[in-house]
Each structure stands twice: as structure tokens, then as C-alpha cells.
């Protein structure tokens, strides 16, 4: 595979490499790793790429790699650039016949996401969108458990994503992560809601199998001088009548990255939080709560398939990320071999989740700016 | 002291007795313990009251007890009846010269609460409002810690109160607690928001020392057939510019009573939850989080004063409740002796908190019913 | 009831009062509260005792109170003095016809405990020994759960009691608690093993229903200059073939009072710790662990009987202590009324547990001093 | 690198691959993956090895690979076979000039471990021993923190390793992991003490920087018919006068793999457990406990160097394992380049830890069988 973005000092590119390396099924062989040619070359060398597959321009890379013979050809490219450089390389990659892995949010605008969907349909290629948290085995267990109907109709959803790293005016110091994420020209219409609110939103829809139909949002810029929201919340209405509250903030000083979801049905509820990622709590109205654990023998096939070690050997964020890649790779391999991918492999986020995520960003910003209380969730 | 309501099968009356007995400073000597005369008498006997101080009508009790000689006279009466029977006995008790303890919400309407305030001012008597959670030592520590400015300006407040016991149509079965609490004629304008939302609201204002100025609420009746809200949330704006999210639900199946508050300032945040009541978590932007514990030597005087045992001997809900009574009793005793009560003793909820709570109920219901997004918090 | 020891600055006496006051079933009417006559009188006044029932000598108190008319007569006396003043007042109280509550360890020597047992048999009176931890509802749940056989044969027991308050040479500073507890003339043959090791030992035997038959102990004096053990551990063998490890230390700097027990059978295990006293964890070999919670509807009658509030209202150390008194009082009352006390009421520690505890102290000290590996547990 | 053992169904071999793949610094190019030739070949193919580097005999592999030209030559071999097949391949690999990675326990006997040390000295080659738990960043933080003297002299160590997977007579069912681990001919002198007790022992010595000098052990065979200990405990004495308790059991039904260590000094204590691997608790005698977290900015260089992601992105067992490989690889690379490896890289377990571990096995078995209480820890 090849990589666009993710040079030596980038955060998420390094995470991708840790994730796809892990299972030994994916090999990085080409890269246009930075817009800065020096960094692109240096990064390629650090990663042991062959000289002729280190590129300083992703367009050149896609051209040249598309011309490679079948046995050397890239199976897919990973696009790990800031948000405003997602759409163009993705479209070109698909045009050149490459499957695509893309960081969230999928594009800069909802419209682009819709175009990407059409392009995928036209090319028959596949896309993986990196909503990492849905790669955790116990998140998959939660989804399957709710799907089983064990808790009855879903009534209430609480999803929260508190971070604290933007509590100061960090972008002013030139810190790279903060700088582009708080810049509307690079990040898009939303700040925190785009960066982490989309994860919370995706988690809520993924775990419940429901869709948000209306929202009422409050968005704040807490740190003076910042250009995009760094804090916010939204009331949610779902298509089965359930309601919810979504919270995403990057100014909760002292918080790390503790994404958490709670869902309640008629008979009980589930709770999962990233800080204790290998545990799924199942609470019951009238009997003791249960602690489901990763790696045990009693999990659904969707959860078990995404565990690598026996119970008690904690797997974390990188393994969740690796699960996305592994399922994507297994699906591509099956398609290559004209086999039907297993349901468990196909359980990775793709362009539909990308469209929902972009719609979330546009709707949450619109609602945040509006004096209307409830707004239809428009896609 | 004397008691109005709280007969042998009542929930909160028994809790009051456990709480005020504990410290051996308060003695129950008279009671009109039920509107049902048989139960009133039976309950009085169970509680070892003298026969002539067991009443079947609170008015008679207040009349007769007011006529007692000084050495037998009640110092105060506790009113532990359903919401719609708070105001009249409280007004009469004050008129008769008794200090008053009253369950939350303070009255049936905001207007009554305002009248009660005027009566208190006119009589110079004292009132204790039973917002139990503010009786916990670590809640007091949280308040003092924030007040010290250690975290800088407060920016964000999350307060939540999830319960699950009304997940079914319990009032239909005749269950006493459920029946009056879901009946607008007995409970007031709000269901869950009145029963537990007021606690969450009080906790938020108490801990931060701030006041809510605007709200945007979503209230739901989740269980079909119920007459009052059993679930809801509200966005909050505070008088220093901070924002917040309040959540209160009684249909979170599997939840017990895990009130929780998180407050974030510029430099860090605090977290307290009732399930782990003896712990206050202090999180910092750039250093290890700290675990403050009840009963230790490094607490503020407000917290220490409300601990009975050394660290590691968990104190719980009844002790928090007892703290309310103890501080109230110490204050009354000081007043009796013409001494100035200590600041730490005066730190109990009273009529101001009652007015804020009733205003919360009226505003949250109004906002919940409105299509307007933000509504001024009117008192 | 009356009290021997427990003057105004004593630790455990105050705890006793908080505990027996709570349920309003026990009233303190007489006391010889200190060996220091001034403190005895002052303490009696603080506690609102009538002047003629404030004593400066427990012998005088027992004499005079024994002569009281039936309706004023004490039902029992509580002995909350240091260990070396347990036996004499207890024997005299029994001789005078009073039931007895006594702090652990029951006496200064095993021999005295055996004499006390004989005296109880001869008088037909009752004794409550204050092993507080067995008063927790979830400890009772654990015992009943294991007794039910749900986990099969018990195989392994881990019990630990880490404290840190004796990490420095505190007795040198004159601190009252530290001074007598580290003085062999007042505390007995053991230091930490007597003070908290006995609790751990009692908890292990109570929860499992088993008896220790052999021990191998290691006792340490960690703080230089101390006269008694402040740290130690013991391997245990039980009468069903199970083994165990007991740990008790008062020099685990930073630890509070987190008593904890884990028991494993063939099919699973249980875990309880005082820090989270309202929870009992049940772990299974091949299914999700379960979280049993105090105040819920699914508990055994032994646990439910000892809960005062619904689930989610944490009850703590004082409530556990109050459970001892309540069950003792209910039993005495039943005996007075010639009724059969319920099994649940009788479930309080008494002289048998006292004898086991004294045997533990003597055996653990002997083993700690010996070069023999295993020693029979002799009573 | 090349691999000996670890064919397609092996447990620990797969874990090694996940671990060394992660960082993209190590490539598997040769393997003698099973004693069963069919499995060896099939496994090699699954792992995309070139045909001529798939071996069915490790001796042949070591011969042939030793003859490879420099640019294709293996930097090291990993030996992931059962304990009784560690020594011979390790000695031969060293003779052939390969650095060696080896699973714990290092050899079948202490004597072999000593021979290995001599061979390493003679060849100047390096060895990595896979004590995974010391690869966790927060374990490294614990070690550095204690080393700094912040807690004063170390006084007490509790280390425990409870598992439950051998609660039944699993080896009778033919389960591969259980079969060899409970067979003295394959596993060595100890069962659980060799399998997991060595980890606990290593953790204790690593974190404290101390050495055990005496032991008193109790070993049990709990499951009838089993040939080796499946449960046990040991009292420890350390070379600075501190004492400790070590516990290791594989019959704690319901437990997973929750290795835990607590160390106490004069001023406080530390606590780490694998279930919450990204947290190190620091407890203080007289101030709030602190929660150190992986990925934060305030850690020692030894901890930071072993984190891959920012705080709040949990890293687990595989990352800890990968840290061993990464540090080993960085060290080898430095040696190849004639550079001095950083102190942080050199912080991986090697033959000295292997010798200590084998001595632990021999001493703990000897003590377990002896009637002597204390035995010198002999190496």
C-alpha cells in the first residue's frame, strides 16, 4: 500500500503505520509523505521505502504507481493529510483504480462526501473511514448485544468525548496539531465537533443501529481568539423515538481522551468507555450488572474476531485501529479472490458513515448558530 | 423536635430519623406522622413517642406544641410529606415559632417559596432544606477548592443524575413512591426534574458558587401513560459566562442513584460522584491528577467538619444527611445561646436554595415545552 | 445502656455512639467514660447523661446500676476501653446480670476469652463482639453466596488489611491511639496482628464458614523502636483443605483502611473490599462477572435485613457498625419477650469469634517467632 | 530475523509477531516454526516467508542462515518453543553468531541459564528475555520513581499474579497450552511458579531494584491429578531488609491475568496493575494520592520512550511486548553502527534476569517441599 501524508512528525500517520504493521498483512511500499519535499524524502528513507517509490507529490505517485505491473501494484492508498486535503487525493486514487483508506472527517464538505460515494459506486472500489473507536471489540459486542434485543427498545443515549488539550491558546504557539485543527480553512466548518464530535456521533449511531433525525446544539468558543468551536453539546432525536445527549469538548482541562457511551433500553443499559476499553458493562433493571470482557469465550463473533489475545491481556487504541485495517484488508483480499467477505470483516466504517459524519458537522454548526430549538438532521 | 409525615412505611421520613439520630444531638419527641390516624398512632408508638405527643393532625400538633413550656418545647419540626403538603405546615410552623426542616423541592410553586422566604425574614427563624448531596464532605471540599481559584475561571459544568427505577409504569402498580411523584397534583409541575433534577441543579450551583442565567431544556415522558417528565436534559449558561449540561433521568434502566458532577476551569477539573462519595478527583492540565479523600488531614475545614471517622472508613448517604441536621442543630443551638454560628455550620441549604430550586422547576418545564431555544432563568 | 470507656477524645467510643444512636433503638443512660474522673464527668455532661448516672469508676457503675429498678435498668453495657481493660469489666458486668458489648480483641489473653465463654454459659447472657466488617450487607451476601455452594468447594482465600498510619514512630509523639496499641502491656501479645489482623482473620472465617487449622506466619517490626509487630503475613490452611494468605500491615504508607477479601471456589470467586463496600463482585470461570449491589431486590435475607436505604445510597462503616448493635438489640428484645430471634438477627459476632480471634493472636505470634514452618492452630 | 517455534496454532509465537511487526523495525524472513514439518511449512507460507527460508528443523535453519551473505543475514532469532526446547537452540544460535530472543523462563534449569550467560559473554552477543510486564511504560515509571528515592527506603512489597484458566483439569482434555505447561518434562520443576510466578518475581525485583535473599514458600496442587503446582505463595526477604509477599495462582477461578504490584516506602507507596496498565498510582502518607498516566508530559524518559500515543489512547500488552523488541532492536542497531545505545534502550530483561528467574523456580520449589521455614535464595 501507499501513503499520502503522514511524514516523520505527523501524529496520525504514525498511528496508521503502527496499526497496519501489527498483523503483518499490509506492507507500506510507496509514499508521498509530506508536501515539504525534504521531509517527504527523509520520511520515506526512515520508513525503508525504495528510492523510486518515495514521492514528493501525491499526484505523481498515483500516476506512477497506477502504471506499475500487477504484482507490484498498490492494493490501496491511505490518506492521512489534514481535512482539506482528503477529497482530491481520494478522488484521484479511485480514478486510478486504488482502494482508499481515509482519515475522518471524510472530506471538507458534505457535498464532497456525496461525490465520493458516487465515485465509489462507479468504480466498485472500497473505502475505509477511520472511526477507530468502532474497531474496539467491546464496542462491537455492545452493538451486537443491543441488536439482539436483549434490552428491548432503545430509549436513551448518552455519548461524551471530553478532552482537555486545547484548554490554552495552543495554536498561537505554532503547535502543529492545534494549528490546522483550529483553522477553518484546513479543518472545515467545525472545530471540536469535527475533530471528536464526529467520533461521538459515529459511535452513537454505530452502537445503537439508529439514526439521528433532529438536533439542538450549543457550540462554544471557550478560549479567546480561537476561530472554531472548542466545546459543545447537542440534544439528539433518533429515528425510533429515542433521545440522546452528545457532548464533545477539548477544553475540559485535565481530561485525556475518555470517549464514553451509555445506552438504555427498556430492560437495562450498556456502558463502554475507552479508558477501560476491554470491558463492557451491562446493567439490568432487576438483576446484577454484568462485566463483559474482551478475549473471553462468551462474546459474539463480531467481538471475538477483533481480539488478538486471551482475556486479561489488555488491547488498546492501536489494536482497535489495526482492526479497521485488518478487516479492510481481509475484505479486499476476499474481493481479489472472488470470495464473499465474512460479515465480521465487512463491519468497518466507510463512505456512508462519512456522509453521516459530514452531515453531523454541517447540521451541528447550523444548529449551534441558530435560534431555532430543533432542526431536522439533513443529509 | 417533631415530625410531620414520615409514618412507618414512608421512605424519606425513615431516612430523616436515621440521619438526625446519629449524632445524638436531636431527639424526636412529637409527631403527626401520617394523614391516616391509625398509621399516625401506630408509627408514634413504634418510635417510642409519649402518647400525648402522638398527633393525627399536624395543625393540632403545632397548636399544642406551641403551648408547651420552654423546657419541653420543640426546637424545630421536620416536614417530610409529599411536595403538595410542604407549604402549609411550614408556614404554620413558622407562625407558631418553630424552626423548620423541609424536604426538597421546598414547595409546590415558586410563589410559595418566595412567601416562605418572607415569612422567615419576618420571624427570624431558620430553615433547613434537605439537599442531601451538598452534605457530603467531598462536595464541600470541591466547593472550597473551586472557590480558592486553584483551577482559574470556571468554564464548563457537567452534572448528571441517572436513575432507573421508573423504567416501568410503576405508578400503575400502586407503588407509593412512584404514585405521588408522578402525579402533577402531588408532585408539582415537574416529575424527574423536580425529584432529582433539582438536586443536580442545586449541586451545580453549590459547588461552583455560580448561578444559572439561561436554559434550554428537553423534557421527555418515556414511559407511556406517565403524567410527568421522567427524563430530560438542559443546556445551562452561568453568570460568569460558563456553560453546562444537566441531565436527569429516572428511566435509565439499571442505574441506581449515581449523581455526578464535573467542573472544569482553566487549569484543571474536579469530579465527584456519589457512588464513590469519599473521593474527590482533581485533574490537572499538566500534572498528575490527585485523589482527595474524606477523613484525611489535608482537607478544608468545611470538609473536615463534616467527617466523623478517619480516612478509609466510608461514610455515605446517611452521614451526608446527618451533616445537614448537625449543622442546622449547631446553628440553632448557637442562636439559642446568642453565639455566632461558625461559617462551617451555616453551610447548609435553606430558603434561597429552595427558591432557586423552584425557579429551576418552573423554568425547565417552560423551556421544555417551548420552541424557543434559550430562555432567561427567571426567579 | 451504659458505657465503659469512650470518653470525649476516644476514637472507638464515639464510633459506638454514632452506631447505636442511628436506629433509635438504643439509648445511652449511664457511663463510666474515663479512668480520669474529670474527663468522665465532662464526657457524661456532653452526652446529656443524668448527673447520678455519670460514674468515675466502672465498678461503682455496675454496682449501682444493678440495683436500679427494672424499668430503669440497663439492658447491656458496652466496653470500649483498651484491650487490657476488657476482661475485668466484662466479667463483672455479666456477674451483675448485664449483657455485654465488647471491642475486639475480646480479651488480653486466650485464657480470659475461654473464661468469658464459661461465664456466658453460666449466666445465659449475650455478648456482642465488634467485628464491624462482618456487619456490612455485602459481606453477609458473600457468606450466604458461598454457603449456597454456587462456587463449589472453596479452594483459596486471600484476605488483606493494609493501613499506613503507623508508618512513622507515632507512639513517640504521644498520640493516644498509637501509644496504647503499640504497648504490649496494654495491647497484648500482638500489635498490628491484634489490632487489624484479627479483623482479617475473622472476615476470612466468617465469609467462608471454614476454620483455620494451621498457620505459617512472618511478623515484622518495621519502624525502629516499636515494641510490637506493625506488619506481617501468614499462610493459612483451612479445615476443608483450602489454603489462604492473610496480610495485615500498618506501615503501608499511603493506605487508609482498605480491608479486602477474595475467595475462590471451583467455579468462580468473590471479591469484596471496604473501599467499595456496597459492591460484591462475583467472578465466574466461563461467564461474565456479576456486580451485586447493596439495597437491591435480589439479595439474600441476611444482606437485605442489614440495608437501610435503596440501592445507590451508599452505606458505610457506621451503618455496618450499627448493624451489629441493631442485631444484638433485636436479639436481646426477642429474648426479653420470650420470642425466638430470627436467624438474621443472631448473625452477629460473639464469644466464639472472640476465642478464635485470641487464638489467632497467640498462634500468629508463636508462629512468627518460630523457625518451624507450619504450626497447628491451637485453641 | 528468524523464528524457532511459533507455528500457526501456537499462542506466544503469534504474540511475538504482533509485537515485533508493530514498529516496522523488524522483519520475519526465516523460520523453523514447528517440529511438525507439515505445520512448519504451512505456517511459513501463511507468514509469506520465501520458500527457501521455511525450515522444518531449527538446526538446519541456523546452519543455512549462518551461511547467508551479510545483507540477507538474520540479526537475531526468536525462540518461542516450550521451556524444554529453549537451551539447545539458544546455544546453537549464539554459536552461529545470532543474537537471541527467548521466552521466559529462560531455560529448563538454572545451570543451563548460567551456561547461557557464559556463552553470551564469550560471543559478545545480546539476549532479550521476554518478561513482558517490564515493558509497560508505567512499570518503568514505577521503577524510576522508586529509584529517585521519593518514597524513602523501600519496606514492603506485595506482588500477585492471579489467573483462573487452570481451575479445571484442562490438560486432560488435550488443550495444548495446558498440556505442556503442566508436564514436568516440558515445563520444568515448577508449574504456575514457573509460568507466572517468574513474572511476578521479575516484576518485584525490577521495580524495586532490590534482590530477594530468602524465601519461605507454600506450593499447592489444587486440581487433582495435576503433576505440577498450580497455586502458591512465598514470603520474601530483600537485600535491603524489606520483606514481601508473592502470590501466583492459576486456579483463582474467574480471574484473567491481573498481575499487580504494590511497593511501600517510608513516605508512600506505588501501585500498578495490568488491568489498568496505563495508570500508576502514587500514594502518600500525608497528601492526596496521585494518578500518573501513560502518554503525559511529566513522565521519566524511561516511561516516555516506551509510549507511542498521547495520553488517553490506551496501550496494552502487545505494546508492552513491542517495547521489548523495539529496545532490543535499537540496541542491536546501535551496536551494529558502533554507537552507544541509550540507557532507555538497554532497559530490557536479559540473561541476568533469566538466571534470577531460574533461581526463583529452583528455590521456590525447594522451599515449597521443605519443612524449613526460611531458605537462603541460592543462585
- Report the range of poorest mean pLDDT among A251-260, B229-238, B272-281, C171-180: C171-180
User: For residue C349, what pLDDT band results from cuts at 50, 70 and 90?
Assistant: very high
Through-space distance between the first and last CA atoms of chain D, rounded to whole angstroms:
32
When pLDDT is averaged across residues B20-41 and rounded to a whole number, the result is: 95
pLDDT score of B123 more than 90:
yes
| Mean pLDDT, all residues of chain C | 97
User: For residue D11, what pLDDT band results from cuts at 50, 70 and 90?
Assistant: confident
User: Looking at domain C133-315+332-345+354-369, does it have CATH number 3.30.360.10?
Assistant: yes
Task: Say what the pLDDT of residue A9 is.
Answer: 83
Selection from B3, C376, D135, B376 nearest residue A313 by Cα: D135
| Residues A22, D24: C-beta atoms closer than 8 Å | no
Return the CATH superfamily for domain D136-345+354-369.
Dihydrodipicolinate Reductase; domain 2 (3.30.360.10)
The fold of the D2-130 domain, in CATH, is Rossmann fold (3.40.50)
Cα B43 to Cα B7: distance, rounded to the nearest angstrom:
5
Task: Say what the pLDDT of residue A214 is.
Answer: 98
pLDDT score of A117 more than 90:
yes
Task: Say what the pLDDT of residue D66 is.
Answer: 96
When pLDDT is averaged across residues B364-374 and rounded to a whole number, the result is: 97
Cα A146 to Cα A208: distance, rounded to the nearest angstrom:
7
Q: What is the pLDDT of residues A177-230, one digit of tens each?
A: 899 999 999 999 999 999 999 999 999 999 999 999 999 999 999 999 999 999
- Report the range of poorest mean pLDDT among A3-12, A81-90, A270-279: A3-12
Beta strands in chain B (DSSP E): 2-4, 30-32, 54-55, 76-79, 99-102, 127-129, 154-162, 212-220, 231-238, 243-249, 260-265, 268-273, 279-284, 289-293, 375-376
Contacts of D266 in chain C (CB under 8 A): 167, 253
Contacts of D303 in chain B (CB under 8 A): none
Q: Is B124 on the interface with C (CB under 8 A)?
A: no
Contacts of C231 in chain D (CB under 8 A): 155-156, 243
Percent of chain C with pLDDT strictly greater than 90: 97
- According to DSSP, the β-strands at B212-220 and C154-162 are unpaired
When pLDDT is averaged across residues B114-132 and rounded to a whole number, the result is: 98
Task: Say what the pLDDT of residue A41 is.
Answer: 96
Instruction: Let me know the angle formed at the C-alpha of D261 by D255 and D267, rounded to the nearest 5 degrees.
Output: 145
Beta strands in B16-153 (DSSP E): 30-32, 54-55, 76-79, 99-102, 127-129
Task: Say what the pLDDT of residue C176 is.
Answer: 86
Q: What are phi and psi of D229, to 5 degrees?
A: -55, 135
* Residues 133-192 in A contacting D (C-alpha not used; CB under 8 Å): 163, 165
Q: What is the pLDDT of residues C25-75, one digit of tens each?
A: 899 999 999 999 999 999 999 999 999 999 999 999 999 999 999 889 999
Minimal-distance CA residue of chain B relative to D292: B288
User: For residue C112, what pLDDT band results from cuts at 50, 70 and 90?
Assistant: very high
| Mean pLDDT, all residues of chain B | 97
Task: Say what the pLDDT of residue A176 is.
Answer: 86
Percent of chain A with pLDDT strictly greater than 70: 100
| Residues D293, B296: C-beta atoms closer than 8 Å | no
When pLDDT is averaged across residues A360-377 and rounded to a whole number, the result is: 97
Q: What is the pLDDT of residues D237-278, one digit of tens each?
A: 999 999 999 999 999 999 999 999 999 999 999 999 999 999
Q: Is D378 on the interface with A (CB under 8 A)?
A: no
pLDDT score of C10 more than 90:
no
pLDDT score of D352 more than 90:
yes
State the DSSP H helix or E strand holding residue A194, giving kind and residue range, or none if neither.
none
User: For residue D9, what pLDDT band results from cuts at 50, 70 and 90?
Assistant: confident
Selection from A54, A376, A368, A345 nearest residue A230 by Cα: A368
Cα D336 to Cα D323: distance, rounded to the nearest angstrom:
20
Task: Say what the pLDDT of residue A33 is.
Answer: 97
Domain boundaries in chain C? Answer: 2-130, 133-315+332-345+354-369
| Residues B15, C309: C-beta atoms closer than 8 Å | yes
ipTM field: 0.96
Q: Which chains lie within 8 Å of chain D at 3 or more CB pairs, if any?
A: A, B, C
Which string of DSSP letters, residue by residue, matches C98-138?
-EEEEPSS-SSSHHHHHHHHHHHHHHT--EEE--GGGGSHH
Task: Say what the pLDDT of residue B69 is.
Answer: 95
User: For residue B44, what pLDDT band results from cuts at 50, 70 and 90?
Assistant: very high
Note whether B203 and B262 are within 8 A (CB).
no
Cα B264 to Cα A164: distance, rounded to the nearest angstrom:
9
| Residues B288, D288: C-beta atoms closer than 8 Å | no
Three cell numbers at D347?
532497559
| Residues D374, C371: C-beta atoms closer than 8 Å | yes
Cα B228 to Cα B105: distance, rounded to the nearest angstrom:
15
pLDDT score of C297 more than 90:
yes
Q: What is the pLDDT of residues B192-233, one digit of tens each?
A: 999 999 999 999 999 999 999 999 999 999 999 999 999 999
Q: What is the pLDDT of residues C206-223, one digit of tens each?
A: 999 999 999 999 999 999
Task: Say what the pLDDT of residue A11 is.
Answer: 85
* 3-state helix vs strand vs coil in chain D, percent to 5: 40, 20, 35
Note whether C20 and C28 are within 8 A (CB).
yes
Cis bond upstream, residue B179 (ω within 30): no
When pLDDT is averaged across residues A263-284 and rounded to a whole number, the result is: 98
A317 → closest Cβ in D257, D313, D317 = D313
Cα B61 to Cα B2: distance, rounded to the nearest angstrom:
9
Q: What is the pLDDT of residues A141-173, one digit of tens each?
A: 999 999 999 999 999 999 999 999 999 999 999
Task: Say what the pLDDT of residue B10 is.
Answer: 84
Strand, coil or helix: what is A15? helix
- Please tell me the class of the B134-311+354-369 domain: alpha beta
Q: Any idea which residue has 505494546 for its cell?
A: D319
Note whether C40 and C55 are within 8 A (CB).
yes
User: Min CA distance, B147 vs chain C (Å)?
Assistant: 27
When pLDDT is averaged across residues D162-173 and rounded to a whole number, the result is: 97
pLDDT score of C11 more than 90:
no
Of the residues D288, D291, D292, D295, the best mutation for testing chain B's interface (the one with the most B CB atoms within 10 Å of its CB) is D288
Q: Is D311 on the interface with B (CB under 8 A)?
A: no
Strand, coil or helix: what is B308? coil
User: For residue B176, what pLDDT band results from cuts at 50, 70 and 90?
Assistant: confident
Q: What are phi and psi of B301, to 5 degrees?
A: -60, -30
| Residues B316, C319: C-beta atoms closer than 8 Å | yes
| Residues A291, C292: C-beta atoms closer than 8 Å | no
Kindly list the distances between the CA atom of residue C242 and the CA atoms of C210, C212, D192, in Å, as whole numbers in the listed order. 9, 9, 17
Cis bond upstream, residue C369 (ω within 30): no
Q: Which chains lie within 8 Å of chain A at 3 or more CB pairs, if any?
A: B, C, D
When pLDDT is averaged across residues B2-24 and rounded to a whole number, the result is: 93
State the DSSP H helix or E strand holding residue B340, giving kind and residue range, or none if neither.
none
pLDDT score of C85 more than 90:
yes
User: For residue B165, what pLDDT band results from cuts at 50, 70 and 90?
Assistant: very high
C254 → closest Cβ in D233, D251, D285 = D285
Contacts of C290 in chain A (CB under 8 A): 288-291
pLDDT score of B128 more than 90:
yes
| Residues B218, A233: C-beta atoms closer than 8 Å | no
pLDDT score of B29 more than 90:
yes
Amino acid at each position: 500500500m501507499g501513503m499520502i501524508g503522514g511524514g516523520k512528525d505527523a501524529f496520525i500517520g504514525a498511528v496508521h503505520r503502527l496499526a497496519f504493521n501489527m498483523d503483518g498483512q499490509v506492507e507500506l511500499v510507496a509514499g508521498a509523505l509530506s508536501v515539504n519535499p525534504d521531509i517527504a524524502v527523509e520520511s520515506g528513507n526512515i520508513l525503508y521505502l525504495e528510492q523510486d517509490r518515495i514521492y514528493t507529490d501525491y499526484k505523481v505517485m498515483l500516476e506512477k504507481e497506477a502504471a506499475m505491473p500487477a504484482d507490484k501494484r498498490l492494493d490501496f492508498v491511505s490518506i492521512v493529510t489534514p481535512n482539506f486535503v482528503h477529497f482530491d487525493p481520494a478522488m484521484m486514487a479511485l480514478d486510478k483504480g486504488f482502494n482508499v483508506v481515509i482519515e475522518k472527517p471524510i472530506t471538507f464538505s458534505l457535498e464532497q462526501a456525496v461525490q465520493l460515494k458516487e465515485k465509489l459506486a462507479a468504480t466498485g472500489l472500497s473505502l475505509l473511514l477511520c472511526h477507530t473507536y468502532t474497531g474496539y471489540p467491546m464496542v462491537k459486542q455492545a452493538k451486537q448485544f443491543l441488536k439482539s434485543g436483549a434490552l428491548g427498545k432503545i430509549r436513551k443515549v448518552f455519548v461524551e468525548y471530553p478532552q482537555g488539550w486545547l484548554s490554552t491558546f495552543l495554536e498561537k504557539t505554532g503547535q502543529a496539531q492545534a494549528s490546522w485543527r483550529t483553522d477553518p480553512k484546513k479543518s472545515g466548518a467545525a472545530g471540536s465537533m469535527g475533530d471528536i464530535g464526529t467520533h461521538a456521533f459515529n459511535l452513537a449511531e454505530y452502537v445503537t443501529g439508529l439514526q439521528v433525525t433532529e438536533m439542538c446544539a450549543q457550540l462554544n468558543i471557550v478560549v479567546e481568539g480561537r476561530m472554531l468551536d472548542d466545546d459543545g453539546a447537542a440534544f439528539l432525536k433518533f429515528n425510533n423515538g429515542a433521545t440522546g445527549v452528545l457532548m464533545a469538548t477539548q477544553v475540559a482541562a485535565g481530561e485525556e481522551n475518555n470517549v464514553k457511551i451509555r445506552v438504555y433500553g427498556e430492560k437495562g443499559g450498556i456502558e463502554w468507555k475507552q479508558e477501560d476499553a476491554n470491558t463492557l458493562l451491562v446493567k439490568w433493571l432487576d438483576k446484577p450488572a454484568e462485566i463483559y470482557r474482551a478475549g473471553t469465550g462468551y462474546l459474539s463473533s463480531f467481538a471475538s474476531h477483533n481480539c488478538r489475545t486471551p482475556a486479561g491481556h489488555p488491547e488498546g487504541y492501536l489494536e482497535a485501529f489495526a482492526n479497521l485495517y485488518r478487516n479492510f484488508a481481509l475484505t479486499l483480499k476476499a474481493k481479489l479472490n472472488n470470495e464473499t467477505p465474512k460479515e465480521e470483516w465487512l463491519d468497518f466504517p466507510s463512505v456512508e458513515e462519512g456522509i453521516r459524519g459530514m452531515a453531523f458537522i454541517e447540521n451541528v454548526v447550523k444548529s449551534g448558530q441558530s435560534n431555532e430549538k430543533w432542526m431536522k438532521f439533513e443529509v
